[in-house]
Chain A
Amino acid sequence: MQKQPLKKVHEIFWKLITAPEGVEEGLRQFPEIQIEDWFKGDEKLSPTRRLNIYANMYFWRIHDAIKEDYPEVFEKIGEKNWNNLMTDYLLRHPSDTPYLQYVGKYLPIFLKESPLSQKWPELYDLALLEWEKAMLFEAKEASTISIEDLQKIDIAKWPHLRFEFVPAFKLIETSKKDCIRIWRKDHAVFHKIISKEESVALNEALAKKPFSDICEKIGDAEKAARFLADWVEGGLIQKMLL
């Protein structure tokens, strides 16, 4: 009998259970091996059928996990498209993480190039938003400042104020150049499409520019103060720096 080194055993097993058309098709990659020399079967279940149990579990477990992160994408394209999408996706992006919940991280980018986006041009934006929201659920906790904390600051010092945002906050840009801010408060995640002005102000603040720069950039100090109050109330800011 030929020798079956462990690494080769793993390679063959892996390639057979991840073959997109099933184990039998996967076997064509290994013309040199006789499956019965490697795996046992019996009259009830051949080695191929036994390996197909693993192939099915591989596909469906990941399929279901990614579906959980993208319920709206799934809803939009329907089950049949989704199943085909998952087959193609796993071929291009087999899981490179020990965490099942991150296997779908490349889906937004993958959708951008998918023919499905010709029929549904909004797919990339939808997927990106769903992914970023899922990620915020598990971002690091941080304490936040309140409106009262802000009001305690001497008005003369306001121009020098800089801000540190909480980890559970993200600003994303859609393919149509809309800006969306996503944040988590009390373990719930929210999102809001914001105005061009607010996104300019936010980007300044995120770059740790002082409040005077933010006002100058949008040319309206009162509006800048309103944005700031909104961010504080949403629990976006963990610290003020002077």
Chain B
Amino acid sequence: MGLRPPHYSHLLENKTQVDWFEIISENYMMEGGRPLAVLDKLREKYPIVMHGVSLSIGSTDKIDFDYLKKLRRLAERIQPAWITDHLCWTGFGGHNAHDLLPLPYTEEAVANTVERIEKVQDFLGRSIGLENVSSYIEYRHATMPEWEFLTEVANRADCGILLDVNNIYVSSVNHRFDPSTYIQNVPADRVWQYHLAGHSDYGDYLLDTHDHPIIDPVWKLYHETIRTIGLRSTLIEWDDHIPEFSVLEAEAEQARGYAKTAA
């Protein structure tokens, strides 16, 4: 489950069914304060996974080593099971969009991303995992489909994959591809983790908003994913209109149910 501030008090005071927590790394890369104190406490009871949003691994800017130092310091502090971010870029010319922007699926982008992943992995002294993002636009000059791009990058950089099943679904609707093809073409042995989430339907397109329950087609796709790729740690993302903890636990229970039928 994702660790979010509205649930801090509940989690400190109550026992839960949660197996592990995922944090947004950037929300804990400061010197002190309550979030870090809560994280230290919860780390005593639960495994933690670090999930970042600002690595900008597909960028053409310089690698931000100051950011990486802080990321490494946080990793040393909480000893995460693994560290992930997104297969995307987030800014240009030293400026940050604070959004997960899509890469062109070209050989040039593969090579650029692979080179940066290798540098980041060297610096952190460990492999990282990268997540497929939801996208709303494709590039005219792309030379391969998204799953091929993801596979190429992961194989050449020797990194892990965080497969977001909702993102595959959202992009498949926005760009009209078959999500099953995507799942069948991902290298299963590289997949470390799954994400599930809700999205918003704007009629002409789907937007990845993390503020709704997971819809049935995404559950179905998840079922297909675990039958094709196998069981992996699965996280349900909520970032807006965050419901009570019990609602999240019920969704997690539903994911466990699918896992049992697929096993």
Contact with B along A1-34 (1 / 0, CB 8 A): 1001111011101100110000000000000000
Using known A-B contacts A53-B207, A139-B33, determine if residue A38 contacts B101 with beta carbons closer than 8 Å: no
Give the contacts of B34-81 with A (CB-CB under 8 A): 34-37, 54, 56, 59-60, 64, 67
Tell me how far the C-beta of B33 lies from the nearest C-beta in chain A, rounded to whole angstroms. 4
Decide yes or no whether B112 CB sits under 8 A from chain A: yes
Residues of A close to B216: CB separation below 8 A: none
Q: What's the Cα separation between A36 and B137 when bound, in Å?
A: 12
Alpha-carbon distance A4/B107, docked complex (angstroms): 12
A120 within 8 A of B: no
Residue from B34, B36, B97, B141 having most chain A Cβ neighbours under 10 A: B97
Stretch of B24-32, B185-193, B230-238, B251-259 contacting A (4+ beta carbons < 8 Å) = B24-32
Which residue on A lies nearest to B33, using beta carbons? A138
Contact A100 B26 (CB under 8 A): yes
CB of A50 within 8 A of CB of B95, answer: no
Interface residues of A in 101-141 (CB under 8 A from B): 101, 103, 137-141
User: Cβ of B34 and Cβ of A137 under 8 Å apart?
Assistant: yes
Q: Assess A39 versus B137: contact at CB under 8 Å? Given A5-B108, A11-B93, A97-B96.
A: yes
B127 within 8 A of A: no
Q: Which of A10, A54, A139, A140 contacts B99 (CB 8 A)?
A: A54
**B147 is an interface residue with CB less than 8 A from chain A:** no
Q: A71 an interface residue at 8 Å Cβ cutoff? A: no
Q: How far does the alpha carbon of A7 sit from the alpha carbon of B37 in the complex, in Å?
A: 40
Given contacts A1-B141, A6-B112, contact A187 B33 (CB under 8 A): yes
Are B104 and A4 in contact, with the CB atoms below 8 A? Answer: yes
A62 close to chain B: CB less than 8 A: yes
Say yes or no: A54-B26 contact (C-beta < 8 A), given A14-B91, A187-B34, A187-B37.
no
Q: Does any Cβ of A come within 8 Å of B204's Cβ?
A: yes
A7 partner, pick from B56, B60, B94, B205, beta carbons under 8 A: B60
How many cross-chain pairs have Cβ atoms below 8 Å apart between A and B? 124
What is the 8 Å Cβ interface bit string for chain B, positions 76-106, against chain A (1 contact, 0 not)?
A: 0000000000000111111111110100101
Partner-binding segment picked from A40-48, A74-82, A205-213: A40-48
Interface flag for A234 (CB, 8 Å): no
Q: A1-B141, A5-B108 are in contact. Are A98 and B97 (CB under 8 A)?
A: no
Q: How large is the interface on B (under 10, 10 to 19, 20 to 34, 35 or more residues)?
A: 35 or more
Confirm or deny: A225 has a beta carbon within 8 angstroms of a beta carbon on chain B: no
Contact status of A99 and B31, CB under 8 A, knowing A37-B140, A187-B37? no
A139 to B98 Cα, complex, angstroms: 23
The answer, yes or no, to whether B109 is at the interface (CB within 8 Å) is yes
Cβ-defined contact, A18 with B59, below 8 A: no
Contact assessment for A61 and B205 in the assembled complex, using a CB-CB cutoff below 8 Å: no
Asked whether B204 lies within 8 Å of A138 as measured between CB atoms, the reply is no
The docked-state distance in angstroms from the alpha carbon of A168 to that of B34 is 12
Known: A10-B60, A62-B98. A137 touches B33 (CB 8 A): yes
Shortest distance between the CB of B111 and any CB in chain A (Å): 9
Q: Does A94 sit within 8 A of B, measured CB to CB?
A: yes
Contact assessment for B140 and A167 in the assembled complex, using a CB-CB cutoff below 8 Å: no
Write out, one digit per residue, whether chain A residues 45-69 have a CB within 8 A of any chain B CB (1) or not (0).
Answer: 1010111011001100110010000
| Minimum distance in angstroms from A69 CB to a CB of chain B | 14
Task: Give the docked Cα–Cα distance between A234 and B99 (Å).
Answer: 40
Contacts of B67 in A (CB 8 A): 98
Interface residues of A in 181-201 (CB under 8 A from B): 184, 187
Q: Is the CB of A50 within 8 A of B34?
A: no
- Determine whether the beta carbon of B32 is less than 8 Å from that of A140: yes
Least CB distance, A54 to chain B, in whole angstroms: 7
Residues of A within 8 A of B98 (CB): 58, 61-62, 65, 95, 100, 103
Give the residue name and chain of the B residue nearest to A8 (CB): B60
Chain B, range 119-176, C-beta contacts under 8 Å to A? 136-141, 176
In the assembled complex, the CB of A20 is this many whole angstroms from the nearest CB of chain B, namely 14
The answer to whether A6 touches B60, judged by C-beta atoms less than 8 angstroms apart, is yes
Q: Can you pick out 27 interface pairs between chain A and chain B where the beta carbons lie within 8 Å of each other?
A: A4-B104, A4-B140, A6-B112, A13-B101, A14-B91, A38-B139, A39-B139, A39-B140, A40-B139, A40-B140, A45-B136, A45-B205, A47-B137, A53-B137, A54-B101, A54-B137, A65-B98, A95-B95, A96-B95, A98-B54, A98-B67, A138-B30, A139-B31, A140-B31, A141-B32, A167-B32, A184-B33
* Other A-B pairs beyond A10-B60, A98-B90, 8, CB < 8 Å: A1-B141, A38-B141, A50-B136, A50-B205, A53-B136, A54-B137, A98-B54, A139-B32
